[in-house]
Amino acid sequence: MNKLLATLIASLFATAAFAQTPAPAAATPATPAVVKAEAKADKATSKAVAAEAKTDAKADAKVEKTEVKAAETKTKAHHKAAQTKMEASAKVAGADTEDKAKTEAKADKTAAKADEKAEKTAIKANAKVAKAKVEANADKAKAKAETDATAAKAQADVKAAAAK
């Protein structure tokens, strides 16, 4: 109970201390030049933000398209590998008894090659997706930097207009 009471009293003092902030200084009347500069800054900033959003959307769409294409490529590669294995096992089933061991070895080798080819194709597809993601992130970062620069430039223009 003592701890609870101590906590309540401490929070009361902390609240009272924060509540007594100094009154803000009287705002200087805005001149027409400052108002015009602020409007221009707002317009430039909103235009930059819209351009950034457009760039982000394009980058995301590009990544999505690359991911879909990679998934299709990997599916086709695995399907082709499965079909090659199936054909090899069919040859083993139809082989003569004396050639069966040789045909099985050849089928195993063919299956291994098919799996290897499918894995290489999947790796290449994944690399393309990773590259697209890196490029998209770079495009997004560049757009963000341009937006930030535009906002900073606009704020500097407003300050310059206020200083006149």
Tokens of 144: 């963000």
**Domain ranges across the chain:** 33-163
CA 36 – CA 14 distance, rounded (Å): 42
CB 143 within 8 A of CB 55: yes
Enter the pTM of the model: 0.67
Mean pLDDT by 10 residues, the chain (164 residues): 68 59 55 86 92 94 96 96 93 85 92 96 96 96 94 90 82
| Residue 162, pLDDT score | 85
CA 91 – CA 79 distance, rounded (Å): 19
Tokens of 26: 């009287």
DSSP state of 21: P
Q: What angle do CA 77, 127, 72 make, to 5 degrees?
A: 35
The DSSP code sequence of 50-109 is: HHHHHHHHHHHHHHHHHHHHHHHHHHHHHHHHHHHHHHHHHHHHTS-TTTHHHHHHHHHH
| Residue 26, pLDDT score | 45
Note the Cα 49 to chain centre separation in Å: 17
